[in-house]
């Protein structure tokens, strides 16, 4: 209480600047008068009496200072003084201040920009309550090299009953559905989910309700929950929406709820997150196949919410025990050689997925730029210190304490850094719309990127921390001026200045090293990107367009007018015939979405059962299995190596045939001829015909490998089947020729809908676009790192220029004497350049060491270039050395042109 | 100079309060002289240190001050104890006596008392 009262009074004195000094002066005068009188009474002479009184009182200045400290709050007061002084210093040398603030604005602005992306993606990826409890359950068969094989219904029930989870939900990975009944048939993305799905995520509807978690319906419960976006866009935010009936793939579903505006579904792609509809299903009755323990559904994801307080590691322990029990209980369903395991993955991780490493790389790169900017500003501060040596020495001579000086310099550098931070964030803020356009659309949570409070706090923290760290060293060195020497000869040759010179050289060397690390990282990324860009994809994407459509699949298979391959063939042949009549079209083919090169999300993978090798699904490796029409291979110019391709005689009633690629031949039939071999592809959950033994399929041809999965992967096994033998719902129509991309989509729509007006037509894209989109994240990170590296190079160049200029300036007297004594100008030039070369050599040496570490850390992001790629390392070392030498050349020239007479006179 | 600020400040404050309790109101020199007379060398030098302390006690509300006229007809600032100060003095006196008693007992302990 007393303390608070005291603080309050002092604070108010501090604010109102009320001083008690006058009062103290009077009191002291009074005190001295009393004491002197008493001394006189004791027999002293008046002069001596006054002297003794003053001695007894003690040092008046110190008392005044303490009195003042008691009256006000010196800490704040000094802070204010320092700040005012710092502002005056910043205004006094505007050129210096603009450069320092600009450099920091660049560093802090860029770091904050990348942080805002990371904040939205890595740090806040899940907009659900208690996200730490959410996990994805993944089943792997490491024994046969299969991952994410999906889960069977009995296994799901085991998980539900295990006591590890509050609830476990099954969900599709996102698929298409046709909404018909309005003007245009609409292709919407939907997910089938178990009714407890929203309970697991912990989100409820903004209007209506979500599914009843205990809904026992085995198949679709014919209820649909729709997204806020769909509700607004298609139904004009109709308040009477609940209870309306939507016709989806020819089935009638009742709308029961509308999700809130900001709700985004989980999933690693923006396609998965932007789901329009959720259908509730039990996954056990029609159109799903009857549950069987060994019938895993690869296209199902399992999302679960852990019991509160259970850590993932502990839950994994319980789960491993459960898996062991199940293996013993059902040995036939879990053959030992497949080594079935079930993993819990934090949902956060699966959402961010593959971009994590790219983002960490970017953050690392921008961190280096920030570091270089800081080093540069620290260097500038030191350079200015030498000009202020006299001022500092005078202040020290007048009794300024060293800590006080350090604090004051610190206030100055903090002011510069914070102003830099403010400028950086202000630029970022005004340019954010432009910057957001640079970010590839495939980045998850793109829409959540914003400059929010968290990001601002980050920017402030970065400014303050860097300002303190990089302000302390110069402040400390600046306060160490040799007082006498400096005052006598203004800083020249004093020990403090030598120390500062060494500090500046260290800073320049680290700057050079850091920028070399960045340059080499950027160079490696650039080469990877270039190699990928120039890679022969194994198919010809030029002049090819793909347009998608979706055939409805009603829940009652007998209501499906495209149920059999023969039925669907009629439609497909008509679509192909009509497409070929469109202007510019030379060739046309169809395939399913998995056949769309680089353009599909997750490939449809099926267990591959080779005759005589595997007997059951759960022992078999999984393989990508696109479905195509016979013209597909020729249209994409994929050459046949052996055997034959599909022809028009391969029909539903003729023996099933398949074409594989070279990689599949080498992987599954090493040293054998795959032609004539028979396989079975276990039908996955997408198939609505409950045939328990799929037919044997004979391999008739081997095609060359094409990079249809990813440009970075040369050979992924593929098995192709003919669409006239195996119907598919998710169709892509491929067209080659002189196409007008803007017109062709609507022409195709007219043609397709004149055959069946209920079919939606969407996603018309050229394969070149698809190709370049597949590289977008790589291109983005490459461009950003290259930009950062260029910035670093510029800053490092400025840094070495500043340091060499400073050295030349310090040595102007020595140089002048040398010149006066007849030294050759060329020798002076060499002397200065040698200085620069020395710094460059030390910097590049350290830089190469650092780059070796960094390049190995980022080797996962490289393609076709080794992390120790000699040309990249050598090239950028030469570039950096050249920049360093060029930057030293200018001050060297100046040194060479010193006029000895003027220089020596001016000293 | 050897500094013992904590003990000095604490005891000096208590002495000031006690002095004002006995002789109030009093001006700065009067307080200093009184303390010097009783405590000997504690305030024989650096009497000036009293003034920051007086200001502090005033901020804390233990004492109050106002201008007045001294015995030799000069303007001087007179300090007096407030009600809060008196209460504080009583509390601190009690504390001090307790502490002193405990310490005294420890000083009087002999080896045989502890066996």
CB atoms within 10 A of CB A540: 15
Q: Which residues of B touch A26 (CB under 8 A)?
A: 75, 77
The CA distance from A83 to the nearest CA of chain B, in Å, is 27
Domain boundary residue among A26, A50, A72?
A72
Joined together, the tokens standing for residue A677 give 């071999």
Domain-embedded: residue A114: no
CB spacing of B28 vs A27 below 8 angstroms: yes
Q: Which residues of A touch B47 (CB under 8 A)?
A: 31, 35, 56-58
Residue B25 confidence (pLDDT):
84
CB spacing of B77 vs A30 below 8 angstroms: yes
Regarding whether A601 and A452 lie in a shared domain, the answer is: no
DSSP A255: E
How far separated are the first and last CA of chain A, in Å rounded? 63
CB atoms within 10 A of CB A616: 14
B42 touches chain A (CB under 8 A): no
Q: From the candidates B5, B9, B34, B51, which should be mutated to test the interface with A, based on the most A CB atoms within 10 A? A: B51
Residue A446 confidence (pLDDT):
63
Residue A26: φ, ψ to 5°: -65, -45
For residue A66, the chain B residue with the least C-alpha distance is B52
The CA distance from A68 to the nearest CA of chain B, in Å, is 8
Instruction: Supply the angle between the helices A565-580 and A741-755 in degrees, to the nearest 10.
Output: 140
Domain-embedded: residue A127: no
CB spacing of B56 vs A63 below 8 angstroms: no
| Dihedral in degrees, nearest 10, Cα atoms A148, A151, A155, A159 | 70
Regarding whether A518 and A456 lie in a shared domain, the answer is: yes
Strands A207-208 and A251-258: antiparallel
Regarding whether A366 and A319 lie in a shared domain, the answer is: no
Residue B3 confidence (pLDDT):
43
| Dihedral in degrees, nearest 10, Cα atoms A135, A139, A143, A146 | -100
Regarding whether A278 and A234 lie in a shared domain, the answer is: yes
Please tell me the distance from the alpha carbon of residue A848 to that of residue A874, in angstroms, as a whole number: 9
Q: What is the mean pLDDT of each run of 10 residues along chain A (907 residues)?
A: 79 77 84 87 88 84 81 78 85 84 90 86 76 86 76 87 88 75 77 89 88 84 87 85 85 89 73 80 79 75 88 90 88 81 84 75 88 88 75 77 81 90 90 79 67 87 89 77 62 56 83 89 87 84 89 78 85 91 90 82 73 74 88 92 90 89 91 89 52 78 88 85 88 90 85 86 85 82 85 84 79 82 84 86 92 87 84 90 87 81 73
Q: From the candidates A33, A41, A56, A72, which should be mutated to test the interface with B, based on the most B CB atoms within 10 A? A: A56
Joined together, the tokens standing for residue A507 give 């800073």
Domain-embedded: residue A129: no
Regarding whether A740 and A673 lie in a shared domain, the answer is: yes
Strands A251-258 and A220-226: parallel
Q: Which residues of B touch A33 (CB under 8 A)?
A: 74
Q: Which residues of B touch A55 (CB under 8 A)?
A: 45
Regarding whether A862 and A810 lie in a shared domain, the answer is: yes
The structure tokens 């008196």 sit at B86
Residue A644 confidence (pLDDT):
92
Nearest CB among A10, A37, A57 relative to B48 is that of: A57
* Count of H-run helices and E-run strands, chain A: 29, 23
Task: Name A536's Cβ contacts closer than 8 Å, sequence gap at least 6.
Answer: none
Q: Which residues of B touch A35 (CB under 8 A)?
A: 29, 47
Regarding whether A305 and A195 lie in a shared domain, the answer is: yes
Q: Give how far Cα A812 sits from Cα of A344, A821, A894, Å.
A: 69, 14, 10
CB spacing of A2 vs B60 below 8 angstroms: yes
Joined together, the tokens standing for residue A866 give 């080794």
pTM of the model: 0.72
Task: Name A555's Cβ contacts closer than 8 Å, sequence gap at least 6.
Answer: A219, A220, A249, A251, A286, A287
Domain-embedded: residue A132: no
What is the CB-side half-sphere exposure of residue A134 using CA atoms within 13 A? Answer: 24
Regarding whether A849 and A715 lie in a shared domain, the answer is: no
- Cβ contact A565:A625 at 8 Å: no
Nearest CB among B27, B49, B56 relative to A6 is that of: B56
For residue A9, the chain B residue with the least C-alpha distance is B59
CB spacing of A56 vs B44 below 8 angstroms: yes
Residue A688 confidence (pLDDT):
44
What is the CB-side half-sphere exposure of residue A367 using CA atoms within 13 A? Answer: 7
Range A45-48 contact pairs with CB under 8 angstroms and sequence separation of 24 or more: none
Range A862-868 contact pairs with CB under 8 angstroms and sequence separation of 24 or more: A862/A524, A862/A525, A862/A528, A863/A528, A863/A529, A863/A531, A863/A532, A863/A712, A864/A527, A864/A528, A864/A531, A864/A532, A864/A535, A865/A524, A865/A527, A865/A528, A865/A531, A867/A524
- Cβ contact A304:A217 at 8 Å: no
For residue B42, the chain A residue with the least C-alpha distance is A56
How far separated are the first and last CA of chain B, in Å rounded? 43
For residue B41, the chain A residue with the least C-alpha distance is A56
Q: From the candidates A22, A23, A30, A54, which should be mutated to test the interface with B, based on the most B CB atoms within 10 A? A: A30
Radius of gyration of chain A (CA): 38
- Cβ contact A389:A479 at 8 Å: no
| Nearest alpha carbon to residue A304 among A132, A146, A152 | A132
Nearest CB among A2, A3, A58 relative to B46 is that of: A58
Regarding whether A689 and A568 lie in a shared domain, the answer is: yes
| Nearest alpha carbon to residue A674 among A652, A707, A703 | A703
Regarding whether A644 and A559 lie in a shared domain, the answer is: yes
Q: Which residues of A touch B72 (CB under 8 A)?
A: 37
Nearest CB among A9, A24, A26 relative to B59 is that of: A9
CB spacing of B60 vs A6 below 8 angstroms: yes
Q: Which residues of A touch B33 (CB under 8 A)?
A: 34, 38
Domain-embedded: residue A436: yes
- Cβ contact A768:A345 at 8 Å: no
Joined together, the tokens standing for residue A714 give 């040369």
Residue A735 confidence (pLDDT):
92
Nearest CB among B29, B46, B55 relative to A31 is that of: B29
For residue A36, the chain B residue with the least C-alpha distance is B29
Residue A658 confidence (pLDDT):
93
Residue A103: φ, ψ to 5°: -60, -45
Task: Give me the number of domains chain A comprises.
Answer: 4
For residue B32, the chain A residue with the least C-alpha distance is A31
Strands laid side by side in the B63-69 sheet: B26-27, B75-81, B63-69
Residue A632 confidence (pLDDT):
93
From the number of C-beta atoms within 10 Å of its C-beta (0-12, 13-18, 19+), residue A890 rates as: middle
> What is the DSSP secondary-structure string of B17-82?
HHHHHHS-SEEHHHHHHHHHHHHSGGGTS-GGGHHHHHHHHHHHTSEEEEEEE-TTS-EEEEEEE-
Domain boundary residue among A56, A72, A88?
A72
Q: Which residues of B touch A54 (CB under 8 A)?
A: none
Regarding whether A642 and A583 lie in a shared domain, the answer is: yes
CB spacing of A31 vs B47 below 8 angstroms: yes
CB spacing of B45 vs A58 below 8 angstroms: yes
Range A12-19 contact pairs with CB under 8 angstroms and sequence separation of 24 or more: A13/A71, A13/A72, A14/A72, A14/A73, A14/A76, A14/A77, A18/A71, A19/A68, A19/A71, A19/A72
Q: From the candidates A34, A35, A68, A73, which should be mutated to test the interface with B, based on the most B CB atoms within 10 A? A: A34
- Cβ contact A638:A703 at 8 Å: yes
B56 touches chain A (CB under 8 A): yes
Indicate the class that CATH gives domain B5-109.
mainly alpha
CB spacing of B77 vs A24 below 8 angstroms: no
Domain-embedded: residue A125: no
What residues in chain A have their Cβ under 8 A from chain B's Cβ atoms?
2-3, 5-6, 9-10, 20, 23-24, 26-28, 30-31, 33-35, 37-38, 55-60, 62-63, 66-67, 69-71
Regarding whether A492 and A401 lie in a shared domain, the answer is: yes
The CA distance from A477 to the nearest CA of chain B, in Å, is 30
Chain A neighbours among B 66-105 (CB < 8 Å)? 70, 72, 74-77, 88
The CA distance from B83 to the nearest CA of chain A, in Å, is 14
> What is the DSSP secondary-structure string of A221-239?
EEEEEE-HHHHHHHHTT-T
Residue A900 confidence (pLDDT):
78
Domain-embedded: residue A852: yes
Please tell me the distance from the alpha carbon of residue A477 to that of residue A491, in angstroms, as a whole number: 13
Domain-embedded: residue A98: no
Range A866-870 contact pairs with CB under 8 angstroms and sequence separation of 24 or more: A867/A524, A869/A523, A869/A524, A869/A527
What is the per-residue pLDDT across B46-74, written as a single tens digit (0 to 9) for each? 788 888 888 888 888 888 888 888 777 78
Q: Which residues of A touch B51 (CB under 8 A)?
A: 24, 27-28, 63, 67
CB spacing of B52 vs A67 below 8 angstroms: yes
Q: Which residues of B touch A6 (CB under 8 A)?
A: 56, 59-60
- Cβ contact A667:A718 at 8 Å: no
Residue A132: φ, ψ to 5°: -65, -20
The CA distance from B73 to the nearest CA of chain A, in Å, is 11
Please tell me the distance from the alpha carbon of residue A482 to that of residue A724, in angstroms, as a whole number: 91
Q: From the candidates A60, A70, A72, A74, which should be mutated to test the interface with B, based on the most B CB atoms within 10 A? A: A70
SS3 A172: strand
Counted across chains A and B, CB pairs separated by less than 8 A come out at 78
CB spacing of B52 vs A27 below 8 angstroms: no
For residue A1, the chain B residue with the least C-alpha distance is B60
Domain of A577 in residue numbering reads as 553-757
């Amino acid at each position: 209480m007393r303390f608070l009262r005291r603080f309050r009074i002092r604070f108010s004195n501090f604010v109102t600047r009320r001083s008690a000094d006058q009062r103290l002066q009077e009191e002291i005068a009074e005190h001295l008068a009393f004491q002197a009188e008493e001394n006189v009474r004791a027999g002293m002479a008046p002069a001596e009496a006054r002297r003794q009184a003053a001695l007894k009182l003690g040092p008046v200045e110190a008392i005044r200072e303490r009195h003042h400290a008691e009256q006000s709050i010196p800490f704040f007061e000094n802070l204010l003084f320092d700040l005012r002084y710092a502002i005056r210093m910043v205004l006094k040398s505007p050129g210096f201040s603009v450069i320092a603030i600009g450099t920091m604005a660049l560093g802090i602005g860029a770091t904050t920009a990348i942080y805002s992306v990371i904040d939205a993606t890595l740090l806040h990826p899940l907009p659900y309550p208690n996200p730490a409890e959410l996990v994805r359950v993944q089943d792997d068969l490491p024994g046969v090299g299969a991952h994410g094989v999906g889960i069977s219904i009995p296994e799901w029930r085991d998980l539900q009953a295990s006591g590890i989870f509050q609830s476990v939900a099954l969900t599709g990975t996102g698929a298409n559905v046709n909404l018909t009944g309005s003007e245009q048939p609409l292709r919407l993305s939907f997910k089938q989910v178990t009714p407890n799905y929203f309970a697991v995520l912990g989100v409820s509807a903004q209007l209506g309700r979500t599914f009843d978690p205990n809904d026992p319906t085995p198949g679709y419960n014919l209820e649909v929950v729709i997204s806020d976006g769909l509700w607004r866009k298609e139904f004009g935010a109709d308040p009477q929406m609940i209870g309306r009936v939507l016709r989806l793939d020819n089935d009638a579903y009742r709308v029961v709820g509308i999700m809130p505006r900001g709700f985004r579904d989980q999933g690693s792609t923006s396609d998965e997150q932007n789901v329009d509809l959720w259908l509730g299903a039990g996954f056990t009755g029609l159109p799903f196949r009857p549950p069987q323990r060994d019938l895993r559904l690869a296209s199902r994801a399992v999302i679960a919410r852990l019991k509160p307080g259970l850590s993932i590691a502990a839950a994994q322990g319980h789960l491993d025990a459960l898996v062991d029990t199940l293996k013993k209980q059902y040995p036939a369903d879990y053959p030992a050689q497949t080594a079935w395991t079930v993993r819990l993955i934090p949902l956060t991780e699966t959402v961010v997925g593959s971009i994590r490493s790219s983002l960490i790389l970017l953050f690392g790169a921008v961190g280096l730029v920030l570091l270089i900017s800081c080093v540069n500003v620290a260097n500038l501060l030191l350079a200015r210190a030498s000009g202020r040596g006299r001022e500092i020495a005078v202040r020290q001579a007048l009794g300024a304490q060293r800590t006080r000086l350090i604090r004051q310099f610190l206030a100055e550098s903090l002011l510069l850094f914070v102003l830099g931070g403010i400028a950086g964030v202000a630029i970022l803020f005004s340019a954010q719309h432009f910057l957001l356009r640079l970010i590839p659309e495939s980045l998850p949570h793109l829409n959540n990127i914003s400059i929010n409070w968290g990001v601002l706090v980050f920017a402030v923290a970065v400014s303050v921390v860097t300002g303190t760290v990089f302000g302390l060293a110069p402040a400390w060195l600046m306060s160490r001026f040799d007082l006498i020497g400096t005052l006598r000869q203004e800083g020249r040759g004093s020990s403090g200045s030598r120390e500062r010179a060494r500090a500046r050289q260290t800073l320049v060397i680290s700057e050079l090293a850091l920028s070399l690390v960045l340059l080499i990282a950027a160079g490696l990324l650039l080469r990877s990107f270039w190699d990928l860009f120039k890679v022969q994809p194994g198919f010809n994407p030029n002049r090819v367009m793909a347009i998608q459509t979706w055939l409805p699949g009603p829940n009652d298979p007998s209501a499906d007018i495209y149920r059999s391959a023969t039925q669907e063939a009629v439609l497909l042949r008509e679509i192909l015939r009509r497409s070929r009549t469109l202007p510019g079209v030379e060739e046309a083919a169809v395939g399913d979405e998995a056949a769309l090169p680089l353009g599909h999300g997750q490939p449809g993978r099926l267990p591959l059962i080779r005759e005589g090798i595997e007997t059951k699904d759960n022992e078999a490796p999984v393989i990508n299995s696109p479905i195509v029409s016979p013209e597909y291979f020729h249209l994409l110019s994929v050459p046949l190596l052996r055997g034959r391709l599909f022809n028009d005689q391969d029909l539903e009633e003729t023996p099933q045939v398949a074409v594989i690629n070279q990689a599949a031949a080498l992987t599954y039939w090493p040293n054998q001829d795959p032609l004539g071999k028979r396989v079975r592809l276990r039908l996955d959950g997408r198939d609505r015909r409950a045939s328990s033994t799929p037919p044997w399929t004979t391999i008739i041809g081997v095609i060359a490998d094409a990079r249809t999965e990813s440009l970075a992967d040369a050979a992924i096994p593929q098995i192709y089947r003919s669409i006239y033998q195996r119907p598919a719902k998710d169709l892509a129509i491929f067209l080659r020729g002189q196409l007008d991309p803007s017109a062709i989509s609507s022409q195709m729509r007219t043609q397709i809908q004149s055959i069946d007006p209920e079919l939606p037509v969407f996603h018309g894209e050229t394969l070149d676009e698809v190709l370049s989109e597949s590289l977008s994240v790589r291109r983005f990170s490459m461009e950003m790192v290259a930009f950062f590296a260029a910035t670093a190079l510029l800053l490092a160049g400025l840094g070495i220029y500043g340091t060499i200029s400073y050295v030349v300036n310090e040595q102007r007297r020595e140089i002048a004497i040398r010149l006066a004594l007849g030294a050759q100008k060329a020798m002076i030039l060499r002397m200065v350049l040698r200085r620069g070369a020395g710094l460059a050599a030390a910097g590049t040496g350290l830089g190469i060491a650092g780059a070796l570490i960094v390049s190995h850390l980022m080797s996962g992001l490289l393609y076709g270039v080794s992390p120790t790629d000699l040309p990249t390392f050598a090239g950028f070392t030469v570039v950096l050395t050249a920049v360093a030498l060029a930057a030293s050349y200018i001050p060297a020239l100046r040194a060479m042109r010193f006029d000895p007479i003027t220089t020596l006179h001016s000293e | 100079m050897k500094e013992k600020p904590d003990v000095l400040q604490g005891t000096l404050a208590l002495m000031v309060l006690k002095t004002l309790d006995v002789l109030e109101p009093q001006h700065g020199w009067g307080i200093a002289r009184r303390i010097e007379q009783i405590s000997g060398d504690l305030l024989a030098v650096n009497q000036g240190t009293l003034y920051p302390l007086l200001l502090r006690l005033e901020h804390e509300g233990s004492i109050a001050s106002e201008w007045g006229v001294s015995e030799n007809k000069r303007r001087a600032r007179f300090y007096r104890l407030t009600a809060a100060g008196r209460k504080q003095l009583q509390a601190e006196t009690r504390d001090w006596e307790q502490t002193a008693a405990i310490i005294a007992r420890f000083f009087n302990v002999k080896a045989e008392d502890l066996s």
